[in-house]
Structure 1
Amino acid sequence: MHNWSQVMQKPQQITPPRSIGVLLFPSFSNHCLANAVEPLRGANMLSRRGLYDWQFLSLDGAGVASSSGLTVQPQARLSDHPGGDYLLVMPSYEFERHATPTLTRALRAAAGRFRTIVGLDTGSYLMAAAGLLDGRRATIHWDELDTLAERFPDVTVTEDRFVIDGTRITCGGTTTTFELMLHLIDAHHGAMLRLEVAALFMHGEADPRADPLTRLPRDRLVQAAVSIMRRNIETPLPVGEIATRLSLSQRGLEAHFARETGMSPRAVYTALRLRQARLLAERTTLSVAEIATRCGYGDASAMTRAFRREFGQPPTVYRQS
């Protein structure tokens, strides 16, 4: 199990941001686009680093209107983009009419410039039409599973929410796009940032008015626990109380956290409180004592020591820098 404080003390290796092209087609889904790029923006904001950089693309460089009429002006044509880490292929509606020989050539060429090609919503259909999914597992929006399987017998079509098969990723819809982005953030930068990004958008939030005996799906339990923690920063709850609110034993909750994050609930709670302290040090003129109180520390010295362990310097020095 990770000791998060020890992890944070290791010098961070500064790497260039991951480069992402977002290829849009007429009638793309605004919802899908937002679920693709907003988690990346959130990761940049929460980490205070440029972890991800993205550009909107189209085949011809002209503005692209979404299914609801919102027009996005691409920053480049696909053929002019030098390539990068990921190309997100996002057609959504009317996808079959986009599967032209021109697009097939463009996608095959792009596959030589981008490390990974990602089909979002119905993007996997265009990838398959270009031969980029032959011999691979893939998914698509569930309304189109049969269409994909019938048209492209060399593709193993599954009902998974998203599928990662080497340098090809496919995703089944708009909500699953958000889940995929959280998964990639976790793979690139760790479980803690994934939990923070999910909480930023209230993803997996447990309704505090809901019947406490209502069981949450297993994959949402950790996020629901984190949501409870975030709502109780100033007066931290015992881990056992959080478990009770989720109809779990404390041992059961700890097992979920160990499996999903490699950390204990207490370690995650401490990390969340210290990130709130860091935010207050950055954005307010509150005294260290007041920050400590607002983050659940009765003793400013104890908060300062924990802050130093987590971020390598005390809050006063952090604020000045």
Structure 2
Amino acid sequence: MPLPQSASPVSRAPLAEGAVRHVTFLLLDRFSLLSFSGAVECLRIANRVAGSTLYTWSLTGDGGETKTCSAGVTFTLDDDLGDPPRDATILVCGGIDVAEASSKRVLNWLRREARRGSVIGGLCTAAVTLARAGLLEDKRATIHWENQDGFAEEFDDVELTRRVFCIDGNRMTTAGGTASIDLMLRLIARDQGEDIANAVADQLIYSSIRTDQDQQRLSTPTRIGVRHPKLAQVIQRMEAYIEEPISPATLATEVGLSTRQLERLFRRYLNRSPKRYYMELRLGRARNLLMQTDMSVINVALACGFTSPSHFSKCYRAHYQTTPYRERGSHGQGD
């Protein structure tokens, strides 16, 4: 099983024979257990299949002696934002409410390590932490698809991608979930060779290794369970034009259908009209922005194609049984 080639290698030379790479995991409050454990397991298994210590690792965090992940499991830290070994790779583990977990002390520590030339990565939502520390400026990055809308609004100096992981020089980001495994396999291949990386993948029963060219979400037809090509094209156009919605008539013309034919396709496959489906997409984007950013409700409305705040509030309440203002308040965000 040859490991796929990456178009964006980390700017660090392969390890010399016998050398040991250290990885420091910076655990944020309510970090994702799956992203963290996937990365750690890759290192552990690499040592096992090699029959020697290729990697060591440690856990650090801001304050206290422990950190608890979003699943409620608590981990003991090795230090309180101490000094990583020279040439250590730092992986920040994010999860729920990552902006709140990205404390000033964490950001300053990351800036210090960046000045020392450290390779720094963000797992799951930790791209937010890296961006807030100024470490992703003018770089390509990725983040979990659910956080893409809020990230794009807050960090317009970052080239956001939808890939499972992204490597740009000495910065790395992943989309969460099992994407940390794909990243670690790439790094192990760089450090130790493809044979070791493939052996790790086999031990994980990980038969389909993704590269930094793979998209994190399923294709539109697969995701919605519809294989009709023209319907899929229309939905992709809808997803791309949330801020400036396109009329169903125009969408139909673009794919060579009449408005009536498009209506029939939506009714047959999705049990709703094109207008209703488009509205649900826009409201879903609005909900993400309300929960993930501090944008005002008015600006959220405009970003999702609503020119009237009152119309936005009416549509939002009809769909979610609450108002945008109450939604914002229930997640602790001020307006």
For the aligned pair, the TM-score class normalised by the smaller chain equals 0.5 to 0.7
Match of 2:104 in 1: 101
Distance 2:184 2:76 in 1: 23
Question: Is structure 2 residue 41 aligned with structure 1 residue 34?
Answer: no
Match of 1:172 in 2: 175
Go from structure 1 to structure 2 and tell me whether the alpha carbon gap of 1:192 and 1:58 turns closer, same or farther (over 3 Å shift).
Answer: same
Distance 1:162 1:147 in 2: 18
1:133 Cα deviation after fit: 0.3
Distance 1:143 1:75 in 2: 31
Is the CA contact 2:182–2:210 (under 8 Å) kept in the aligned structure 1?
no
Distance 1:22 1:168 in 2: 15
1:99 Cα deviation after fit: 2.8
1:66 Cα deviation after fit: 1.2
Match of 2:192 in 1: 189
Is the CA contact 2:28–2:102 (under 8 Å) kept in the aligned structure 1?
no
Following TM superposition, the consecutive aligned residue runs of length 4 or more in structure 1 with deviations greater than 4 angstroms are: none
Distance 1:191 1:113 in 2: 29
Question: Is structure 2 residue 106 aligned with structure 1 residue 117?
Answer: no
1:113 Cα deviation after fit: 3.8
SS in 2 for 1:79: coil
Match of 1:57 in 2: 60
Match of 1:145 in 2: 148
Give the TM-score, by structure 1 length: 0.58
Is the CA contact 1:108–1:130 (under 8 Å) kept in the aligned structure 2?
yes
Question: Is structure 2 residue 49 aligned with structure 1 residue 46?
Answer: yes
Code of the aligned partner of 2:48:
M
After superposition, residues 66-105 of structure 1 pair within 5 angstroms as 66-105=69-108
String of CA shifts for 1:142-167, please: whole Å, max 9, x gaps: 11112111101111101011110000
1:13 Cα deviation after fit: 5.3
Distance 1:187 1:14 in 2: 13
1:189 Cα deviation after fit: 1.4
Give the TM-score, by structure 2 length: 0.56
Distance 1:218 1:146 in 2: 24
Go from structure 1 to structure 2 and tell me whether the alpha carbon gap of 1:57 and 1:100 turns closer, same or farther (over 3 Å shift).
Answer: closer
After superposition, residues 199-238 of structure 1 pair within 5 angstroms as 199-204=202-207
1:121 Cα deviation after fit: 0.2
1:69 Cα deviation after fit: 1.4
Go from structure 1 to structure 2 and tell me whether the alpha carbon gap of 1:114 and 1:13 turns closer, same or farther (over 3 Å shift).
Answer: closer
Choose from 115, 123, 127 the match for 2:130: 127
1:74 Cα deviation after fit: 0.5
String of CA shifts for 1:79-117, please: whole Å, max 9, x gaps: 343453310000211101123332221210122346200
Is the CA contact 2:60–2:82 (under 8 Å) kept in the aligned structure 1?
no
String of CA shifts for 1:265-302, please: whole Å, max 9, x gaps: xxxxxxxxxxxxxxxxxxxxxxxxxxxxxxxxxxxxxx
Code of the aligned partner of 1:111:
A
Q: Which segments of 5 or more consecutive residues in structure 1 lack a partner in the other structure?
A: 3-11, 206-216, 220-321
1:60 Cα deviation after fit: 1.8
1:65 Cα deviation after fit: 1.0
Go from structure 1 to structure 2 and tell me whether the alpha carbon gap of 1:167 and 1:203 turns closer, same or farther (over 3 Å shift).
Answer: same
> What percentage of residue pairs aligned between the two structures are identical?
34
Go from structure 1 to structure 2 and tell me whether the alpha carbon gap of 1:114 and 1:43 turns closer, same or farther (over 3 Å shift).
Answer: farther
Go from structure 1 to structure 2 and tell me whether the alpha carbon gap of 1:157 and 1:202 turns closer, same or farther (over 3 Å shift).
Answer: same
Choose from 23, 38, 55 the match for 1:20: 23
Code of the aligned partner of 1:68:
A
Match of 1:263 in 2: none
Distance 1:56 1:30 in 2: 13
1:14 Cα deviation after fit: 3.2
Is the CA contact 1:87–1:114 (under 8 Å) kept in the aligned structure 2?
no
Q: How many pairs are equivalent?
A: 198
1:21 Cα deviation after fit: 0.4
Is the CA contact 1:84–1:113 (under 8 Å) kept in the aligned structure 2?
no
String of CA shifts for 1:209-243, please: whole Å, max 9, x gaps: xxxxxxxx998xxxxxxxxxxxxxxxxxxxxxxxx
Is the CA contact 1:86–1:114 (under 8 Å) kept in the aligned structure 2?
no
Is the CA contact 2:61–2:80 (under 8 Å) kept in the aligned structure 1?
yes
Go from structure 1 to structure 2 and tell me whether the alpha carbon gap of 1:154 and 1:195 turns closer, same or farther (over 3 Å shift).
Answer: same
Go from structure 1 to structure 2 and tell me whether the alpha carbon gap of 1:218 and 1:153 turns closer, same or farther (over 3 Å shift).
Answer: closer
1:53 Cα deviation after fit: 0.8
Q: Which segments of 5 or more consecutive residues in structure 2 lack a partner in the other structure?
A: 3-14, 212-335
SS in 2 for 1:42: helix
